[in-house]
Amino acid sequence: GYDCPATEGIFEYAAAVGGATITAAQCLLDGKCKVAINWPGGWHHAKKDEASGFCYLNDAVLGILRLRQKFDRVLYIDLDLHHGDGVEDAFSFTSKVMTVSLHKFSPGFFPGKLNLGDLCTGDVTDVGLGKGRYYSVNVPIQDGIQDEKYYQICETVLKEVYAAFNPDAVVLQLGADTVAGDPMCSFNMTPEGVGKCLKYVLQWQLATLILGGGGYNLANTARCWTYLTAVILGRTLSSEIPDHEFFTEYGPDYVLEITPSCRPDRNEPQRIQEILNSIKGELSKPT
């Protein structure tokens, strides 16, 4: 596809990303750690027969398959701006992997395709197929959402998911394209807001595989993943960006924090409640 060109060295690069996620998953299987991280991973759009959305393979799927060698029920949580369609498709027919995706939902917004009639993917009514029916959870969100409302949605959904599915392990995709200042110009989050969602998952104390994903403001993506790494380690970081080779990329303020923009929040409380009620009803159906 146009977004996945066959450039020189891409096989080696994709193999390194996929191999790193499999290695991280193996560390969890071997009990070497409770949390394993591969920030370059999180390539959640690729299908078994198609590269898509800058994703040449789906390392998240490979990581889940490796975790399934030991853990019976694996929960995949996708907090990227874009719908985690590739992971959902891979496990849409199984009850052993539950996928949860919070994402922007808008006609033609990737992975939706205006010219193919598939305007949107990841609607709240997309719940899985066959034996996997009700094991796919989609949370469609509109532009402008900020930390507090996003966390309320995330916590509400994950509380229901945990009670219904009782996972043995977690794969958490943390794309940074939800953060204010990203060229996607959609959500209005900060690393602290994403960090609250991460902390909620970590308090389950399950084997957890952390992956990156989108993030097209490179300085803000580095800020976000650095902050989230500190959350995982229980560390508090200085606000000041340390002097290094790419220091000038962090101007004009040169601090770790990211300030939300004045973008309006398009998420109506009534619609959000309707979505949450629908998800709660669907999660009561798996057996």
Query: In this predicted structure, what is the pLDDT of residue 1?
Result: 63
**30 labeled part of a ligand binding site:** no
Burial 24-62 (b: 16+ CB within 10 A, else e): bbbbbbeeeeebbbbbbbbbbbbbeeebbbbbbbbbbbb
**pLDDT tens-digit profile of 87-140?**
999 999 999 999 999 999 998 899 986 555 556 789 999 999 999 999 999 999
According to DSSP H, which parts of 125-255 are helical? 147-165, 191-202, 218-233
Q: What percent of the chain has pLDDT over 90?
A: 91
CA dihedral 35, 156, 284, 66 (to 10 degrees): -20
Burial class of residue 1 (count of CB atoms within 10 Å of its CB; 0-12, 13-18, 19+):
exposed
The CATH architecture assigned to 10-283 reads 3-Layer(aba) Sandwich (3.40)
Yes or no: say if 63 and 52 are a contact pair by the CB < 8 Å rule.
Answer: no
SS3 167: coil
Q: What is the 3-state secondary structure (H, E, C) of 68-132?
A: CCCCCCEEEEECCCCCCHHHHHHCCCCCCEEEEEEEECCCCCCCCEHHHCECCCCCCCCCCCHHH
User: For residue 121, what are its two tokens?
Assistant: 């993917």
Residues with catalytic roles: 45
Q: What is the pLDDT of residues 224-259, one digit of tens each?
A: 999 999 999 999 999 999 999 999 999 999 999 999
Q: Are 187 and 145 in contact (CB under 8 A)?
A: yes
Is 53 annotated as belonging to a binding site? yes
Measured from the Cβ of residue 168, the count of other Cβ atoms closer than 10 Å reads: 16
Domain ranges within the chain, ordered by starting residue: 10-283
Write down the pLDDT at residue 202: 99
- List, for residues 56-91, the tens digit of each pLDDT value: 999 999 999 999 999 999 999 999 999 999 999 999
Q: What is the pTM of this model?
A: 0.96
What was the pLDDT predicted at 116?
A: 53
Residue 6: CB atoms within 10 A of its CB come to: 8
3 is in an annotated binding site: yes
Q: Is 82 annotated as ligand-binding?
A: yes
Bond into 252 cis (ω within 30): yes
Nearest to 78 by CA among 67, 86, 70: 86
Contact 104, 182 (CB under 8 A): no
- Give yes or no for a contact between 215 and 221, defined as CB atoms under 8 angstroms apart: yes
- Coil, strand, or helix at residue 271? helix
In residues, how long is the chain?
Answer: 287
DSSP letters along 29-40, please? HTTS-SEEEETT
